[in-house]
Amino acid sequence: MNILLWLLQILVAWFCIVGAVWRYFNYSTAKDIASLQALSFGTWNAIGAFEIVCSLLLILPAILKLSPKITPIVAACLAVELLLVTALHVHYFGFHYQAANPGAWSFTLAVLSAFIAFGRFSLKRR
């Protein structure tokens, strides 16, 4: 279970960082994405910064053995944030679970983050 959680943590961290960087560099050219234009550039940057910090905190505390207890808390916070982003995307796109819908991506990452939080909380209790 620990190996699966590590793989998921790396996967979620990677997708969140890549998504944040993509939004930063493509905000002005992504005029056809209504949900992206619904929030200001600064708001998306703040969301992206939050995702990057959370992504780093999913990986670094356990690797550096600083405070691995923070990982499930960070995963839960990331899950909540991604569910809010999903709600924004669903408002503009509807919920069609397909690769072209950004809501599908953020929802999948939210579910994986919630699974990581649950898994890390339950492993911590043992």
pLDDT per residue of the chain (126 residues) written in tens, 0 to 9: 889 999 999 999 999 999 999 989 988 887 778 888 888 999 999 999 999 999 999 999 988 888 888 999 999 999 999 999 999 999 988 877 887 788 899 999 999 999 999 999 987 666
Count how many residues are written for the chain: 126
d(C-alpha 85, C-alpha 50), whole Å: 12
Q: Rounded CA gap, 103 and 94, in Å? A: 8
Residues 6+ positions from 112 with CB-CB distance below 8 Å: 8, 11, 12
